[in-house]
Amino acid sequence: MTVIGSRGSALALAQSGWVRDMILSRFPGIDVAVKIIKTSADKSPAASIRASSSIGVFVKELEQALVEEEIDIAVHSMKDLPTTIQPQLEIAAIPGREDARDALIARESAGVMGLPPGAVVGTGSIRRQSQLLAMRPDLKIVDIRGNVDTRLNRLQKREYDAIILACAGLNRLGLQDRITTPLDFSQMLPAPGQGALAIEIRRQDPRTAALVTPLNDRTAEVTVSAERMFLHAISGGCNVPAAVHARMDGAQVLIEGLVASPDGKQIVRDSVRATTEAAVEAAASLANLILARGGRAILDRL
């Protein structure tokens, strides 16, 4: 029996179920089960995820279950996984990536620039907040927690004029029709690894590695690894006002990154191109360039 650990949300179970189905499609004779593991974020659903102490709240208990051999595989949203993981664990596969863009979901059909003056927008991400305010300083950004359904219901109840969610999660839940406007990367750069899954296992577990490594997608591995290096070089977690996206542009990898002040008044943004072999190193250089051009001063004020 191979056990996949998952959070209990509909999105997490959809992601873990997809991994289970992909394993069974290649190895139909084995037994694979999904076990729900409650994480810190699930135990305290009302707590804000903006604080630095929240780093790893979506993954810590899953990783501990792996270490203790309670589960064999942990499936994470890559953007929730800290850039440093426990030494006895490894990311064994990064499957093909979903849409990495952020999505505006509004009660009335309008893009960010079409929202009414002073509109209330719900997001728990300081990264999204800073980029929204750079476009529309008049917006009122309000923290929001809960799973996707909870957030959509709060929008429906008119607690917000709009909310921001990841396109990938909505797509995986079959809720594409709720997206008002996908936000182009020129408007809003995503979180590192957004849209990608991380399949994590124990390092000394060749049997499980043989099951999941066929799910790895080389393009996703290259681009996501570059994004995670950018975040590591910035020395930030998932709640700093930093964003990055890497994508293939012909034979090269185009990496775009930024650091912004929470109020959106200061944004240091730049990009770099590199070969696939040099993408990780180039991402670190990009982070250092952005820090030197004012990003470090922004982060030091947080």
Q: What pLDDT score was predicted for residue 51?
A: 46
For 162-186, what is the mean pLDDT? 97
| pLDDT one-digit tens code per residue, 239-277 | 789 999 999 999 999 999 999 999 999 999 999 999 999
Q: What pLDDT score was predicted for residue 298?
A: 96
Q: What pLDDT score was predicted for residue 54?
A: 44
| pLDDT exceeds cutoff 80 at 195 | yes
Mean residue pLDDT of the chain comes to 93
User: Where in the chain do CATH 3.40.190.10 domains reside?
Assistant: 2-95+196-216, 102-183
Residues involved in catalysis: 80
| pLDDT one-digit tens code per residue, 19-67 | 999 999 999 999 999 999 987 666 555 544 444 434 567 899 999 999 9
Q: What pLDDT score was predicted for residue 110?
A: 80
User: Where in the chain do CATH 3.30.160.40 domains reside?
Assistant: 227-300
Q: What pLDDT score was predicted for residue 238?
A: 60
Q: What pLDDT score was predicted for residue 27?
A: 95
CATH class (in words) of the domain with range 102-183: alpha beta
CATH class (in words) of the domain with range 2-95+196-216: alpha beta
pTM: 0.92
Beta carbons of 257 and 232 less than 8 angstroms apart: no
Q: Which CATH architecture best describes the domain 227-300?
A: 2-Layer Sandwich (3.30)
Q: What pLDDT score was predicted for residue 53?
A: 36
